[in-house]
Amino acid sequence: MSKHSQDTSPADQLSALATHYEQAQHWQLSTLFDSDSKRFDRFSFEAAGLFLDFSKNHINDQTISLLTDWARACQLEEQRDAMFRGEAINTTEGRAVLHTALRLPSNAKCIVDGKDINQDIQSVLARIDTFSAAIRSGSWQGYSGKRITDIVNIGIGGSDLGPAMTCAALRPFVQTDLRFHFLSNVDGHDIDAKLNGLQPETTLFIIASKTFTTQETMLNAHAARDWFLQNGSLSSLAQHFVAVSTNAKAVAAFGIDTNNMFPFWDWVGGRYSIWSAIGLPLAIAIGMQHFREFLAGAHAMDKHFQQAPLERNMPVILALIATWYRQFFQTSSQLIAPYHQDLQLFPTYLQQLEMESNGKRVTRDGKAINSPTAPIIWGSAGTNGQHAYFQLLHQGTDAIPVDFITALKPSHTHHQQHQALLANCFAQSEALMRGKSEEEVRIDMQAQQQPEEKISALLAHKHFAGNRPSNTLLLEKLTPTSLGALIALYEHKVFVQGVLWDINSFDQWGVELGKILANRILSELEPQAEIGKHDSSTSGLIAKARQAS
């Protein structure tokens, strides 16, 4: 840490970084490696069971020093501690941000406003334990006396993405005689496809909505209820529907026994809620012992984030490097490339986590931000991406930072496939960094005895500029523990970036406007309804829809 870092303002530190960027923008990554045999050792470390290699970035020791000085000038450590203390850092909604409390050990205390909230957390976990064990053992039966075989989670946003992603990621740990389905889209084609082939007598629905009023979720919930009642009765509905909610009155009116309502709290944001009762499908899928390991992995990352110095703090380093590229190199997107098929939904999960959290244009006090904020997050499982969009990464006009994620040990016995997977993962990061010069292209083509005119014609096409940055995250193996740590890593990365940009990462007012307008237009789609005041495009589209109905 610079001795002046805490005495200077964020603006001063940004000015120092801007001066440093004038040099860094011209660095060649391959040259940095060629001139420093210890670069990998200096820019890599392990935390909470994860290994991070961040050496393939446009950084040196001074870069890290300047970036961490900036973080300290932004009072990152103080704001981090305020979050863990349960202060109302979600200022626009006046709420604490305590998803980290959900993964505390059972004997830990978390005192907020004079109350130990961990007692409530452990009480809900105990109820989840009892219920999930009953489903897994078959002691919970449907109306015909048959055991439950299919679980349908109905939610949207974090109430869908979290359970869907984690159940897919932990596929080898899922009880094999249970099948899990995730319904979120209000498009009727989704529920039509999900219900096709299911039997009401062996299907359990989990309705996940804190208020039990979320439009998309409740439309799908009532459609599922109607489907069930074609065979089952109102008196048996409680055997097939449970709720993750806090609205007991609405849950009971739906026909769900409130004893089978699992609550969570307003200090848990939707995209941070997989650790709460929203994780009920995951607890059923992998069992409570593994679910507690999942929580423990996240808690290990929490402790690392709280205790490690910024220079060796994994969420902080990831956030600082990502912001370095976004703010100074003006990169507009970031690729998440998990080289693990079971993590195929992880980029989608991170899209909500990062873009809904930090896709903001004003500071916490409502002033316009004069720098770019959250980049576009995208990606899919490798190696498929190599045959889809990696061409753009290597030879396109935009430099796109990449996070490669893989596991050193697989959950299968196909040794050759896993070796090929790791080889592709490591090769892509090397190729993006080093590239291929025109001279190297010429030598290769000459070795193939290609004619000079062909070599000249293809030199530019086969040239790879390289100098494209990436991080590589290694898991020993994808387990409940390592997945918990991985998710928590990115949660804290998002928090750090929010501090750097001085924005509230925990509200999402941008989501609300579309909901309000959709409710208004919904009534206007009825044939006899009066169409309100809209622009000509929206009015015309409403009219076309009414004509087609």
- Positions marked catalytic: 356, 387, 515
What does 46-101 look like in DSSP terms, one character per residue? EETTEEEE--SSS--HHHHHHHHHHHHHTTHHHHHHHHHHT---BTTTTB---GGG
Alpha carbons within 13 angstroms on the beta-carbon side of residue 68 total 20
| Beta strands 50-53; 111-112: pairing state | unpaired
Whole-number Å distance between alpha carbons of 99 and 18:
35
Q: Which residues 6+ apart lie within 8 Å of 290 measured at CB?
A: 170, 173, 480
Whole-number Å distance between alpha carbons of 102 and 294:
11
Helix ranges (DSSP H) in 365-414: 390-395
Whole-number Å distance between alpha carbons of 377 and 374:
8
| Beta strands 261-262; 241-244: pairing state | parallel
Mapping DSSP to helix (H, G, I), strand (E, B) and coil, where does residue 11 land?
helix
Q: Which residues 6+ apart lie within 8 Å of 24 measured at CB?
A: 58, 59, 60, 63, 328
Token pair of 232, please? 């089952």
DSSP designation for 355 = I
What are the start-end ranges of the E strands in 78-218?
111-112, 115-116, 150-154, 179-183, 203-208
